[in-house]
Amino acid sequence: MIPRLTELEPATATTRTFLAELRRGMFSGDLADDLATRVVGATDNSIYQILPQAIIYPRTRDDVVLVMRTARQDAFRTLTLTARGGGTGTNGQSLTSGIVVDLGRHMTRIHALGGNLVEVEPGVVLDQLNAHLAPRGVFFAPNLSPSSRATLGGMIATDASGQGSRVYGKTSQHVSAVEIVLGDGSMLVTRPMRRAEVLALPDWDTAAPLAERLPRAVLALAERVRDDFVAKLPRLHRFLTGYNLERVWDPATDTLDLKWLVTGAEGTLGIVTRAWLGVVPIPTAARLAVLEFPSFEAALASAGTVIAQDPSSIETIDERVMDLAREDVIFPHVASYLPLRPAPFPRTAAINLVEFEGMDAAEVERKMAALLAACEQHRGEPGWPIAWSTAVNDTDRKALWQLRAKGVGLLGNTKGRRKPVPFIEDTVVPPTRLAEYVAELRAVLDAEGLVYGMFGHVDVGCLHVRPALDLRDPEDEKRIRRISDKTAALCTKYGGVIWGEHGKGFRSEYSPQHFGELFVHLEAVKTLFDPDHRLNPGKIATPTGRRRELATIDQPTRGQHDRQIERTAQDAFTLAIDCNGNGQCYHWDPDHVMCPSSKVTRDRVHTPKGRAGVMREWLRQLSNADSAPPAKPREVSAIAMAVQAPVRAVHSLGKAFGRFDYSHEVNRAMQGCLACKACATQCPVKVDVPAFRSDFLERYHTRYLRPVRDHLVGGLESALSAMSRAPWFFNFFLRSKIFQRAFGRITGLVDTPLLARRPLRKQLRARGLALLEVGSPPPAPHVDTKLRVVLVQDAFTSFYEPELVLTVRDLLVRLGCDVEIAPYLPNGKGLHVKGFLRRFDRVARRHAAALQRLAASGATLVAIEPAVGLTYRDEYRHTLGKDLGFEVLLLQELLIKIVPVKIVPPAPAADAPAPDKRYRLFGHCTEKTLAPASQKQWADVFSRFGLALDLVATGCCGMSGAYGHERIHRDESKGIWELSWARWLAECDPDRALATGYSCRSQAHRFGAFTPRHPAAVLLGTVSTNSTIDP
């Protein structure tokens, strides 16, 4: 039995009073000071972990104003405020021990304007904005790898830039104006101001609001120091990000624009609540070349010759990232561009992605042709590629850029305890000196005995380097300081800077080194805006006279927390501990499969990253309580469980009365997981939440009673077998709304579906068919020319849709197979989902033994329901080992093998209307993620049947097995449905909609008022006894 976990750092009394005051002040957003929420807010995409006091989620600008004004009250002057967006920062920009103001949950509105401007709130995600703008033929040009979750507020805060910055520049160059709430609660909207207009504003010594007094003071400062900035700082495009005293005043036009101070200020001067952004036309033509090099240095050395061809961007990727990509879901889409050639051909150690884009297709083609001609002319020469290829279509081009975007996440999937981590990942030097700089940087890393990944924007001299460290090892943590200091010195030596595009954050300690005597002027800016040092304190600059408070890299790290976890627990729960915080699970798009619970709740606790974070804290507290969980839960007999039941009941009673146990907060996070398995493959680090969720639930319920619904879901497969003997009896009650309401209140399960009126065994008997006999000796290996197929039953199709089993059987028979149906055995999926792991182990072993016997007889095993069929590849292998002794195919995987040629249906009657041969497939989440090729396989199968199948890119339907039937999740289930499936199905002819998953069809029936067909039903209708095979 696990202990009660009471280790808690509560919010201070002042913080709690502040939150109460906000509630009284009609704050319309959300306020949170629970430990789980704070633990999730304690990390970003950096190496650091700092627990905030509370997290505030404003809905409107007025909420932010209220926060600022309330914080000015004398009782709250010790509190600090730090703005946060997508949490993708790599240097702790938004981490704080104070109060976080999270703008990413609610402030996500886009207000389209005319011309080349768009108005946005800070929580809008970059890809979300560009999807909104696409119908207008324009986009917001700065491009980032984490564009699927990086917010515009965060981009403005760090003056972000990325791929294509050589042409499009930084975020600040596309910001027209910002609305910022200042420390006194006054609001400033930046814009170019003429000198006379500035001088007409109140003087600094007046009692006017800060927004009115700042322009005159900033103008006086800028006039005094601008020439020094121009004369003494390197002419490096990415050097000044925030506090830009070189550009805030333009002497040529004698205008002042405070946006140049705010963009890149990391929330240290105020909190941005709106921005007006410039947009540009989307290039109508784009071509991408993949240039291969025998070394990373050779790829860097080519930058000058490639830049001469005037590309829009050049991105370099090293072999470490490419090798990791071979194990990722992205690889099938880019495999042809990353070939492994046999000796004696040199191994490709790095590639350059070179893109040309523009509005003139002929000009783009001319530039690409010139590059390829130059490569051919200089083949074999130093600084030129050893091989090259070009993306054959736009799909491949986007896939290659997706590979580049996933580079950071892929590095996190490096095997072993040492993982590539960010702390020197965005250094920048002049491109002409990049090769020299890299040579010295490699020497520094090699001297430490480290491996590392490299990639970056060589066209602008920006390099992403992630040395592999195990920060649970104190010796490796010490390397952070040594390497950072040496890297900063190298950057200074080569006229560069240690922060090229990811902001300063805790690296602000290097600002005095890079700015020299000019740093006092940055302190002067901070003094004007935030003299009390309460806005993201320590970052970039401090008020004059407080430099000792400047943030340093010597902050608490995630490794310091994780090393408190017992080693056995670290090894057992690597799926949680290895999360590197890249935040790909924060993906904004409702049509992306990961992560449905976070999309509907807007709660970061309910993401794979969030769940991994709360799980790590749970393991830490258990270890500190000398109760670190073993690799596998200890066997507990049924008698022992019964004896402990009264104790668990007492503990559960304490839970009902609000007795604190951190395990309850972890349980809340895990209960929100749909167990769809998207994170197991879509996360580049493969953070498999359903796997460690089941482990947690098994252990959690050694102390607390399970809810009734868990027992029902876990035992459903066995119960359905018995219930199917009298479906009329159970359906009588299930049809009653009164019974359904009462059943829902008692058991926690709602909208329970009806059983099939005629069970499968009766329908088989009516056809004169029988199931394979249980317990009979293994049949002799099959020698008939027909392929022997055995359909593996599952509870969903057998007891709710038995007609589908017969449809699949008939289809395969007509395709020339000898088809049999295995006797029904529980698969154990529900047991695993609910954390009955010991019971699942027993069920899995019994079922696996039966399947092994069938496989040994030469039968091809096929599953109809993807969620169940894929259990044999995932949960079974996790429990029983990778070599199961059998393989269960999905239906389309079999069809793609047995239908290698085109099926020709009989010609229709002369007067028959032409059939509509185009269908739309709505895939099952688990199928799409655990079997990435599955959807295309369906399309290929339909093509061979002379049918067209469009693959609809949807998110989750919201059902996911029993999740949607649980009363506590019904609203979320419906919300998830409405985010994606409801929109797409509304545009689809019901007769053309197909769905492979029973859960999906059930959800469509529940909320969409119709049931999509299974693809097999369409194929069976196409294949008749008169069909022929076209060789």
Checking 262-265 for CB contacts under 8 A at 24+ apart, the result is 262/156, 262/178, 262/180, 262/190, 263/156, 263/159, 263/171, 263/172, 263/175, 263/178, 264/156, 264/157, 264/158, 264/159, 264/171, 264/172, 264/240, 264/503, 265/157, 265/540
- Over residues 895-919, the pLDDT tens digits come to 999 987 666 555 555 555 555 679 9
pLDDT band with cut points at 50, 70 and 90 for residue 228: very high
pLDDT for res 641: 77
Residues paired with residue 902 on neighbouring β-strands, in sequence order: 1030
What gap in Å lies between CA 708 and CA 515, rounded to an integer?
64
Give me the phi and psi of 463, to 5 degrees please. Answer: -125, 130
Cα separation of 858 and 847, whole Å? 17
pLDDT tens digit string along 320-351?
888 888 877 788 888 889 888 887 788 888 89
The pLDDT value recorded for residue 1028 is 47
Q: How many Å apart are CA 354 and CA 799, to the nearest integer?
A: 55
The yes-or-no verdict on residue 169 having pLDDT over 80 is: yes
What percentage of residues in the chain have a pLDDT greater than 90?
77
Say if residue 633's pLDDT is above 70: no
**Per-residue pLDDT reduced to its tens digit, 513-530:** 999 999 999 999 999 999
Place of tokens 């693809």: 1015
Q: Rounded to an integer, what distance in angstroms lies between the CA atom of residue 71 and that of residue 532?
A: 12
Which residue(s) pair with 118 in the sheet? 112, 277
Residue 291 predicted with pLDDT over 90: yes
Please identify which residue in the block is written with the tokens 């025998």: 294
Strand partners, 102: 84
pLDDT tens readout for residues 131-151? 999 999 999 999 888 899 999
How do 99-102 and 81-84 pair as beta strands? Answer: parallel
Mean pLDDT (whole number) for 861-876? 96
Confidence (pLDDT) at 1027: 52
Q: Answer for the pair 866, 991: CB distance below 8 angstroms, yes or no.
A: no
pLDDT band at 1026 (very low <50, low <70, confident <90, very high): very low
* pLDDT computed for residue 774 by the predictor: 55
- In 18-53, which positions are buried (b, 16+ CB within 10 angstroms) versus exposed (e)? bbebbeeeebebbbbbbbbbbbbbbbbbbbbbbbbb
3 state SS of 134 = helix
Would you say 407 and 145 are in contact if contact means Cβ atoms under 8 Å apart? yes
pLDDT tens, position by position, 456-486:
888 888 888 999 999 999 999 999 999 999 9
pLDDT score, position 910: 53
pLDDT exceeds cutoff 60 at 1025: no
Residue 775 pLDDT level (bands cut at 50, 70, 90):
low
Of residues 149, 142, 96, the one with CA closest to residue 125: 149
Q: Output the pLDDT for position 1024.
A: 66
Q: Is the dihedral of CA 505, 508, 510, 514 positive or negative?
A: positive
Bond from prior residue into 823 cis (ω within 30 degrees of 0): no
Q: How confident is the model at residue 642 (pLDDT cuts 50, 70, 90)?
A: confident
Mean per-residue pLDDT of the chain: 91
SS3 sequence, 417-470?
Answer: CCEECCCCCCEECCHHHHHHHHHHHHHHHHHCCCCEEEEEEHHHCEEEEEEEEC
All domains in the chain, ordered by first residue: 13-106 (3.30.43.10), 111-281 (3.30.465.10), 283-413 (3.30.70.2190), 414-502 (3.30.70.2740), 564-705 (no CATH), 723-892 (1.20.1050), 902-1030 (no CATH)
Q: Residue 881 CA to chain centroid, in angstroms? A: 28
The answer on pLDDT for 933 being more than 50 is: yes
Residue 404 pLDDT:
81
Q: Given the structure tokens 């953070």, which residue do they identify?
A: 687
Q: Which has the closest alpha carbon to 921: 934, 931, 930, 932?
A: 934
**Cα–Cα dist 486/467, whole Å:** 14
pTM score, whole prediction: 0.92
Tell me the residue type at 377. Answer: Q
Question: What is the mean predicted confidence (pLDDT) over 815-841?
Answer: 95
Task: Give me the pLDDT at residue 52, please.
Answer: 98
